[in-house]
């Protein structure tokens, strides 16, 4: 069967093409319908001309390999694909609202918007990395946002999957990506480092916060090479009201050496959501670019550089080193609280870089709206927060590795499950009382957490007994 090209009214495999929604350099996007698919859909068709379209063809093959292996709210739902024998295409759900490009074109955004968008984009990238995919072409146009709030990554034509052949690396030697956002190691032709996506995130957050691109808008590849030695103007030099912690995150993400960046997107997302826990370095207070002597020395070191070192294993990107411990602060549960602290200490010897999220739950069903104070008139929420901090003193951890949260919820189990998902905990450590009605009550909490939590759970009982589902 001869190959056909897309046009309005075309019918293929039961799909009918409507209006063309977008025409890019490598593909066109069409409104499409199907009698068996009531959901709004779009069809992406690569632009294949009569000349040398090898990058377009290979990129589309890459996208067709990767998309069926992705799931979740941070990617478009795949509906159908067509091969090159007639007309190659990918049909996905339609996500209304357009890309983030409009938001970036409006210049610097409010601090609250910068933080919100940055956290949502980073969460989406963390979800990709957890599924063994590095995007390698992150830019504002490749982020959409659902009505429910989640960011959605699109366009996987340059992506790398840790367990699939890298067709682009096999067939082409030139670096690929969008020049204002690609990382130094991409310029050096490395396509398997997840930290490259974190560099692109840093560049986009910089742009949202300042209204300027950290490295300008290079049009030629040789201009990208300068970011091996030339640091960007610090964000706070352009917008002094930006907080130091945000500059710390941005400049850390934009480090030339990937080893000095965040090592996972999940760690970066955690800092964006917990600014008080961000450890500040000299980067946070920097107000000007490095001087000519520093730049000259760096350029001399980088002149013959061909590699920035091996990347971390992508297979561990989803395993966030965050331990959530639910602490019962009741006076009669001190022994159990001590056991939890000892058990947590042993876990930290295995995961020495892990962060610890200390949580206590106030069951609101037991309290009236005017009963949030104890018998001495102290605010219960504040008292519990102080109690958590006191409990954690025995861990001897620096402040930046500890987070304290008091949750108020009618169902303690739901509160713990939801919070574990929010902070992307890799493990939950909790206790269960040992006898009587209290045990029956708390036992039901731990059983529900074990059954429904999206991570592993250890349940401890007074006397040292544990249960690790």
Tell me, letter by letter, the H, E, C secondary structure of 272-332: HHCHHHCCCCHHHHCCCCCCHHHHHHHHHHHCCCCCCCCCCCHHHCCCCCEEEEECCCCHH
Instruction: Count other C-beta atoms under 10 Å from residue 227's C-beta.
Output: 23
Residue intervals of the chain classified under CATH 1.10.510.10 are: 101-316
pLDDT of residue 83: 85
- Residues 322-467, CATH architecture: 3-Layer(aba) Sandwich (3.40)
Looking only at the bridges linking them, the beta strands covering 78-82 and 27-34 are: unpaired
pTM comes to 0.76
Q: Which residues in the chain show pLDDT less than 50?
A: 1, 318, 367-370, 437-442, 468-469
How far is it, in rounded angstroms, from Cα 405 to Cα 360? 7
Domain 11-93 matching CATH 3.30.200.20: the answer reads yes
Helix (H) or strand (E) run with residue 33 in it: strand 27-34
pLDDT of residue 439: 47
Residue intervals of the chain classified under CATH 3.40.50.620 are: 322-467
> CA angle, 443 as apex, 442 and 449 as ends, to 5°?
90
Residue intervals of the chain classified under CATH 3.30.200.20 are: 11-93
Q: Does residue 264 contact residue 320 with C-beta atoms inside 8 Å? A: yes
What is the separation, in whole angstroms, between the first and last Cα of the chain? 55
Q: Does residue 194 contact residue 134 with C-beta atoms inside 8 Å? A: yes
What fold, for 101-316?
Transferase(Phosphotransferase); domain 1 (1.10.510)
Q: Does residue 354 contact residue 344 with C-beta atoms inside 8 Å? A: no
Q: Does residue 44 contact residue 29 with C-beta atoms inside 8 Å? A: yes
Kindly report the backbone phi and psi dihedral angles of residue 457, in degrees, each rounded to the nearest multiple of 5, phi listed first.
-135, 135
pLDDT of residue 438: 44
Closest Cα to residue 262, out of 160, 354, 194?
A: 194
pLDDT of residue 434: 59
- pLDDT per residue over 318-372, tens digit each? 455 789 999 988 888 888 889 999 999 898 888 877 888 889 998 876 544 445 6
């Amino acid at each position: 069967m001869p190959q056909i090209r897309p046009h309005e009214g075309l019918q293929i495999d039961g799909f009918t093409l409507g209006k063309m929604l977008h025409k890019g350099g490598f593909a066109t996007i069409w409104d499409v319908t199907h009698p068996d698919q009531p959901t709004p859909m779009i069809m992406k068709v690569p632009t294949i001309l009569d000349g040398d379209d090898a990058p377009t063809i290979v990129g589309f093959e890459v996208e067709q390999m990767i998309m069926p292996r992705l799931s979740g709210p941070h990617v478009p739902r795949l509906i159908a694909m067509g091969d090159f024998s007639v007309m190659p295409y990918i049909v996905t759900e339609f996500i209304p609202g357009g890309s983030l490009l409009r938001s970036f074109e409006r210049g610097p955004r409010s601090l609250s918007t910068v933080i919100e968008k940055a956290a949502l984009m980073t969460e989406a990238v963390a979800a990709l990395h957890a599924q063994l995919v590095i995007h390698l072409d992150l830019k504002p146009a490749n982020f959409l946002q659902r009505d429910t709030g989640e960011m959605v990554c699109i366009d996987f034509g340059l992506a790398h999957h840790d367990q699939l052949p890298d067709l682009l690396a096999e067939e082409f030697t030139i670096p690929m990506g969008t020049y204002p956002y690609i990382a130094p190691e991409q310029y050096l032709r490395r396509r398997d480092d997840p930290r490259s996506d974190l560099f692109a995130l840093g560049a986009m957050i910089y742009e949202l916060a300042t209204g300027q691109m950290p490295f300008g808008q290079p049009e030629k590849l040789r201009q990208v090479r300068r970011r091996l030695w030339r640091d960007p103007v610090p964000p706070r030099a352009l917008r002094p009201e930006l907080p130091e912690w945000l500059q710390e995150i941005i400049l850390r993400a934009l480090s030339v050496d990937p080893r000095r960046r965040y090592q996972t997107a999940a760690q970066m997302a955690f800092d964006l959501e917990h600014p008080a826990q961000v450890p500040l370095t000299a980067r946070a207070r920097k107000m000007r670019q490095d001087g000519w002597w520093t730049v000259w020395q760096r350029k001399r070191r980088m002149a013959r550089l061909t590699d920035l070192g091996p990347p971390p294993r992508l297979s561990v990107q989803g395993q966030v080193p965050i331990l959530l411990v639910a602490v019962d602060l009741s006076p009669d549960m001190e022994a159990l609280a001590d056991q939890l602290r000892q058990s947590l200490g042993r876990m930290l010897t295995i995961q020495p870089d892990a962060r610890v999220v200390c949580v206590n739950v106030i069951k609101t069903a037991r309290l009236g709206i005017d009963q949030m104070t104890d018998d001495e008139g102290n605010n219960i929420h504040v008292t519990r927060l102080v109690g958590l901090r006191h409990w954690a003193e025995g861990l001897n951890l620096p402040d930046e590795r500890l987070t304290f949260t008091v949750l108020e919820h009618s169902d303690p189990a739901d509160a713990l499950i939801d919070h574990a998902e929010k902070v992307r905990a890799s493990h939950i450590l909790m206790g269960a009382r040992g006898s009587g009605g209290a045990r029956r009550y708390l036992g039901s909490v731990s059983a529900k957490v074990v059954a429904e939590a999206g991570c592993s759970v250890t349940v401890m009982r007074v006397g040292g007994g544990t249960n690790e589902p």
